[in-house]
Amino acid sequence: MSHYYVNLEYGQSNGNANQRALFEALDAYSLLTRNGRLRRLWARIRRQPYTLWSLNSMSQQWQVQARYESGLQLVPVAAIRGSEGKESAFDSHFTPLHHRHSRERWLGIAMAHWQGQILPPVDLIKVDDGRSAVYFVRDGHHRVSVARAFGQREIEANVTVWQLNGPAPWNACEPSMQTAVPAADYSY
């Protein structure tokens, strides 16, 4: 997989940057992080969580009936709610929470996206209890973040399904978890 980074000192990405793409990416990143800070402040005031759901933490509450590869699919970006291991690196809207490395990586991907380059599919885990499903990012957090920032409705993903034996926590009565999407098949 290619890695997209921006060298901000010289204004170049991977050799020959398009200045307009760099400016568009910088504007999008600035808006994204400013809105992210405001959302997190509001969440703290309201004493609500603002981080991604942790697959590692939540999976201790589940009984997984089956795990299988589901292949390449188009997945609704809004259904991606958590992470397998990087939940502290992004907020619940996939705004990066760390600085330099994450910013350069984000800008590189945003420039590639803005220039129309085809990015590799992300790797997701679909946790499905038969009533609804939620996706967790295994690889591709910055690509999901850029997709959200640019208003992309769907993202191409290699999906691994975890079929639960019983109800998922987001089908419980807790309001902060009731944002899962109904189970659906988005495969090609």
Domain hosting residue 55, numbered range? 19-182
pLDDT band at 172 (very low <50, low <70, confident <90, very high): low
User: Would 64 be classed as within a structural domain?
Assistant: yes
Using CA atoms, how far apart are residues 30 and 46, in angstroms rounded to an integer? Answer: 24
User: Would 36 be classed as within a structural domain?
Assistant: yes
User: Would 7 be classed as within a structural domain?
Assistant: no
Short-list 163, 69, 171, CA closest to 123: 69
pLDDT band at 101 (very low <50, low <70, confident <90, very high): low
User: Would 4 be classed as within a structural domain?
Assistant: no
User: Would 1 be classed as within a structural domain?
Assistant: no
The CATH number that applies at residue 135 is 3.90.1530.10
User: Would 9 be classed as within a structural domain?
Assistant: no
Average pLDDT over residues 12-32: 64
pLDDT band at 140 (very low <50, low <70, confident <90, very high): very high
φ, ψ for residue 186 (rounded to 5)?
-105, 20
Q: Which one of 96-105, 135-144, 157-166 scores highest in mean pLDDT?
A: 135-144
Say how many domains are in the chain.
1
User: Would 5 be classed as within a structural domain?
Assistant: no
Structure tokens at 55: 């697959």
pLDDT above 90: residue 19: no
pLDDT band at 182 (very low <50, low <70, confident <90, very high): very low
Collect all residues with Cβ–Cβ distance below 8 Å to 114 and sequence separation of at least 6.
21, 24, 25, 150
Average pLDDT over residues 134-147: 94
User: Would 123 be classed as within a structural domain?
Assistant: yes
